[in-house]
Amino acid sequence: MTYFSELEGKKVIVVGGSKGIGKDIALAFAKLGSDVVITGRNKEDLRITTEELKEFNPNCFYLTADIQNVHEIYNMIDSANDRLGQIDVLINNAGINIPKPVLEVTEEDWDRVLDTNLKGTFFCSQRAGKYMTEQRTAGKIINIVSQMAFVGYIKRAAYCSSKGGAVQMTKALAIEWAEHQIKVNAVAPTFIETDFTKKMFDDQGFYQDVLSRIPLGTLAKPDDVTGAVLFLASDMANFITGETIRVDGGWTAI
């Protein structure tokens, strides 16, 4: 038996797919033979990553979109569907955090975090779900959330709120679209070791505090998250919907 062989030829959108976790996810699907479109705001980053994807599947491409803008979301999903022919899997990975003490959070900070992590995720799902229901593809939507949906942490009031909302949204979409056999799930990672987070962990006090909260005693890597995403996208997870897999090394089990 070849694991995940059913993902060959699947039409996959990875929102926020040019760097970090999103890039790792996109590469994994491309290596399995999926036709992958990655999206983001930085055209050059998207171009570079797409060249890497094409080494495994020449049918991969990119689209630019700012998911804080619903009009751009609709255009991006519409264009992806037109070029792919259908949408089998949507991975909502785009997200931001603006770490600040509660008393320093501005309205602009709050709106940027919520508009990206929650509003953007909803409208990407809404538009992709429209095509999945019309095409009867029994599609899958996978939201990358965070362990911060389940626990609080300093300087992350807006972020925790956005990710907690995304977990509840995942459940709501799963229930409403169950009749169409669309499965909606989420993956909630702990802190991930990427180029993006490296600066944060230069602060040894912060680094040691994070490690002290993870029973497995180490940070997660992008492929730890990718494994959970591939599972949810595969036939092995065909009877799972409305769930969130916590890839957190045991942080939230305490």
Give me the active site residues, please: 159
Overall size of the chain counted in residues: 254
Angle between helical axes of 157-177 and 121-135 (0-180°, round to 10): 10
What is the phi-psi region of residue 219: left when phi exceeds 0, alpha when psi lies from -120 to 50, beta otherwise?
Answer: beta
Q: How far is CA 171 from CA 122, 143, 210, 236, 240, in A?
A: 12, 11, 28, 20, 11
Instruction: Provide the H-helix boundaries in the chain.
Output: 20-31, 43-54, 70-84, 107-114, 121-135, 157-177, 195-198, 204-212, 222-233
- Alpha-carbon gap, residue 166 to 143, rounded angstroms: 8
CA distance 96 to 19: 13
d(CA 246, CA 254): 13
